[in-house]
Amino acid sequence: MSRLDSFIRRLEAQRRCLEHVVRLVAELPGPVFELGLGNGRTFDHLRGICPHREIFVFERRVAAHPDCVPDPEHLFEGPLEISLPRARQRFGATIPMIHADLGSGNFELDQRTSVYLATQLPGLLCPAGIVLSDQPLPYSAAEQLALPPEVESGRYHLYRAA
Ligand SMILES: C[S@@+](CC[C@H](N)C(=O)[O-])C[C@H]1O[C@@H](n2cnc3c(N)ncnc32)[C@H](O)[C@@H]1O
């Protein structure tokens, strides 16, 4: 498989997983968290597929296309290590869907971020809330969910809170 094929498959997997989880949490009220704005691609897709939900975005430093930047009331700018504890205080465990797209390509950094994120999730996800992540998460209290049928194993990671 060429690198182009692999890139396309990764993005297709991401889109399928986002749409799958939006369906799975359809009956749960509450906002969506998008961790990692980047270029704003997945944020833009999410606001199209769940137009009736508020989406709060977390990003260290915003550099997305202006059309894909949330309004200031829906943006937590800065490191997750500061913004997620603030979000926990504000929202508590009420969030039905968290999308974490935080991969940097640096294995050790990504592992540290995943470990940190896993410590924050129990204080954010509502019962039966789902986190989907580009990185595996050491979130043992949650049930790991199967990927949608078309998505290759290991491309994305889905966990449902108890
Ligand atoms: C792969 S990009 C996100 C791509 C984006 N979802 C898209 O579709 O365009 C990862 C983003 O996560 C952000 N990020 C990674 N670790 C972070 C942290 N600890 N705190 C805040 N933002 C972080 C990076 O700044 C980067 O913009």
Looking at residue 153, what is its pLDDT?
A: 95
Looking at residue 96, what is its pLDDT?
A: 98
Looking at residue 125, what is its pLDDT?
A: 98
Q: How far does residue 46's CA lie from ligand 1's centre (Å)?
A: 15
Average pLDDT of the segment spanning 128-151: 97
Average pLDDT of the segment spanning 114-137: 98
Average pLDDT of the segment spanning 130-139: 98
Looking at residue 77, what is its pLDDT?
A: 98
Looking at residue 90, what is its pLDDT?
A: 98
Looking at residue 107, what is its pLDDT?
A: 97
Look over the chain and give the mean of its residue pLDDT values, rounded to a whole number. Answer: 97
Distances in Å between the alpha carbon of 110 and those of 57, 116, 136? 19, 10, 10
- The domain of 45 spans 3-160
Which residue, by CA, sits nearest to atom 4 of ligand 1?
Answer: 38
Average pLDDT of the segment spanning 106-120: 98
Distances in Å between the alpha carbon of 51 and those of 31, 36, 81, 87, 125? 11, 19, 28, 21, 20
Q: How far does residue 34's CA lie from ligand 1's centre (Å)?
A: 9
CATH assignment at residue 23: 3.40.50.150
- 133: which strand partners? 100, 157
Q: How far does residue 60's CA lie from ligand 1's centre (Å)?
A: 7
Looking at residue 2, what is its pLDDT?
A: 95
Q: Give which of 96, 140, 101, 146 is closest to 118, Cα–Cα.
A: 140
Which tens digit of pLDDT belongs to each residue from 14-62? 999 999 999 999 999 999 999 999 999 999 999 999 999 999 999 999 9
Q: How far does residue 102's CA lie from ligand 1's centre (Å)?
A: 4
Looking at residue 3, what is its pLDDT?
A: 94
Looking at residue 32, what is its pLDDT?
A: 98
Three-state SS for 71?
coil
Looking at residue 22, what is its pLDDT?
A: 98
Beta carbon of 31 within 6 Å of any ligand 1 atom: no
Reported pTM? 0.98
Average pLDDT of the segment spanning 67-74: 97
Output 28 or 150, whichever has higher pLDDT: 28
Number of domains in the chain: 1
Q: Both tokens of residue 77?
A: 């700018």
